[in-house]
Structure 1
């Protein structure tokens, strides 16, 4: 019995530490967003790691501002995806894919229009995600109509058991 309590205490402490780290990162996202202000206002930025030449944008600061506007919501969506226990959390893959595509579009300097025609690239993802979410919803409501369970009981039944981020990543890759 003592060993079981010790294991629970270690797991509880680990979850508390991980939750505190995630909450700190979420609270710090406004500061992460404004990191773009530390990027120089010029067309070429040379560092000891890389040299970046902005051909399409007016300056590197505009590229950094645009990327910050895409990376912060993507970061928050990833946190939501990996911590969500609801049955519908796979639908978050659609906006995640959209933001990843937008980031790739921003990085590609030869693109003329940012945020255009991306729906065509998201269609294959949406073709898989939307029907699977709808079928899961239909299954829930079918059980709701045939069984004396509340919607909350059914949602709890379809919730994914708590896993760490590492275990969730193993499920997908």
Structure 2
């Protein structure tokens, strides 16, 4: 019994710790963005570990401002994606993919300064297949949820023939006729019973 309560307490503690880390990450996201102010304004940044040369922006501060301007919303969108409980959470991947693509393009242009490949010019062409796949997934999930909520069977749509000039479909007319036939049979049976009753009196 104590082991169950201990596991339950540990699970709650882990959940609380993870939630606290996420909340702190969101709260400190403006500070993440303003980290660019610690970088030098020169085109080369030398440290003991590496040397970074900004070839496109010609200023490490501007390059850091650009990178952190992409990393901060990307970080927040990833938190939103992994913590969202709505059925449409896959749609969050579209702006996430856009920011990730822009970050890669900005870094590639600044580090390599390859004028032969400009990925940012036709960025939408590179992202279109990704967007189409995500939108298809979201739409399929929406259809499944709509089907469960309203109890619709999509195979019934093939059986239903809707007339343009009539508000009642052929399938509904058929059901109405069957109901009327059943009602007539019931009335005939009740008339026979009444006649037998009166004869016996």
Shift in Å, 1:90: 1.7
Look up the match of 1:21.
21
Distance across 1 between alignment mates of 2:4 and 2:82 = 27
Unaligned runs of 5+ in 2: 153-201
Task: Describe how 1:1-173 pairs up with structure 2 within 5 A.
Answer: 1-108=1-108, 109=110, 110=113, 116-146=121-151
Greater relative contact order (Cα 8 A, min sep 6): structure 1 or 2? 1
Deviation at 1:143, TM superposition (A): 2.2
- TM-score normalised to structure 1 length: 0.78
Q: How far did residue 115 of structure 1 move?
A: 5.2
CA–CA separation in structure 2 for the residues paired with 1:63 and 1:129:
31
Q: Report deviation, 1:63.
A: 0.2
Matched position secondary structure for 1:121: helix
Gaps of 5+ in 1: 148-173
Conservation of the 8 A alpha-carbon contact between 1:102 and 1:114: no
Secondary structure (helix, strand or coil) at the match of 1:49 reads coil
The total of aligned residue pairs comes to 147
CA RMSD after TM alignment: 1.9
Q: For the residues of structure 2 that align with 1:87 and 1:3, how far apart are their CA atoms?
A: 35
Q: Distance in 2 between matches of 1:4 and 1:119?
A: 52
- 1:114: Cα distance to partner? 8.4
SS of the residue corresponding to residue 8 of structure 1 reads helix
Cα contact 1:105–1:111 (8 A) shared by 2: no
Q: Does the residue aligned with 1:52 lie in a helix, a strand or coil?
A: strand
CA offset at residue 111 of structure 1? 6.4
Pair member with larger Rg: 2
**TM-score, normalization by structure 2:** 0.68
